[in-house]
Amino acid sequence: MILDVNGVEFDYRSKEVLSNIKFHLQKNEILAILGPNGVGKTTLLKCMNAILKPKSGTIMIEEQDVLKLEQMEIARRLGYVPQQCESARLTAFDAILLGRMPHIKWNISTGDVMLVENVIKRLKLEDLALRYIDELSGGELQKVGIARALAQNPKLLLLDEPTSSLDLRNQLDILDIVRDVVKKEDVSAIMTMHDLNLAFRYADKFLFLKNGTIFAAGSIADVSPQVIEEVYGVPVTIQNYQNVSVVIPV
């Protein structure tokens, strides 16, 4: 087990946002956090690497409680890609190199540069490497963000709506990259998502939030039209098309 979350609660200005969150994740698995706008998906994701401090609960990553680690130590174990990456006058290479920050003392080593080079090759970003990121498109910038998180050498990737505001091609590209990395390397991923069909296509496990707590969780077999209707308030049917589940509102 790579991640074990138990009894996490989070308050925002003494208003309860999340309560009794409990789930776990195995190596090489992708978990999709689903639910309506404002239910606390992003909040939950940010609690995972203690960007937001939960009021109570434990988040064990490889037998260590994230909430008891220093921020830098957390960053060596969890890579986080926010919904929106800001751009600056930096090359993509520099931007990805930033992912080595939690690991370096004073300056980058040849090893760091090699690792960045490998990530770039891994994600097929060779053409972007020396371009300035303030000249990249949204999809390209998102790929650089994921590359940066991978350069952190994390055990767990946290992705906040990685496909929002991307076109179809880029949505598939990004999620292919995530799936490829998770399946082939020593890493797992948690993504918040809005698009149920993309989630079904790429994730191994699903976690539906409603009213700040887990409404349903499990694999695709546990996702029923009733669950989706309860969570989103929209009646749906789930059809199978060439072994991929597809949600259709009715």
Footprint on this chain of another protein (rule: CB under 8 A): 46, 49, 51, 70-76, 78-82, 84-86, 88-91, 93-95, 98-99, 101-102, 104, 113-114, 117, 120-121, 126, 129-130, 132, 134, 145, 148-149, 152, 158
Tell me whether residue 115 or residue 223 sits nearer to another protein (CB atom): 115
- Minimum distance from residue 101 beta carbon to another protein (Å): 5
Tell me whether residue 164 or residue 213 sits nearer to another protein (CB atom): 164
- Minimum distance from residue 242 beta carbon to another protein (Å): 33
Residues 97, 116, 123, 200: is their CA dihedral positive or negative? negative
Tell me whether residue 40 or residue 99 sits nearer to another protein (CB atom): 99
Q: What token pair was written down for 1?
A: 């087990």
- Minimum distance from residue 158 beta carbon to another protein (Å): 8
Using CA atoms, how far apart are residues 160 and 80, in angstroms rounded to an integer? 8
Using CA atoms, how far apart are residues 204 and 195, in angstroms rounded to an integer? 15
The β-bridge relationship of strands 244-249 and 213-218 is: unpaired
The DSSP letter of residue 221 is G
Tell me whether residue 69 or residue 199 sits nearer to another protein (CB atom): 69
Using CA atoms, how far apart are residues 161 and 10, in angstroms rounded to an integer? 20
- Minimum distance from residue 67 beta carbon to another protein (Å): 15
Token look-up 């690497």 returns 49
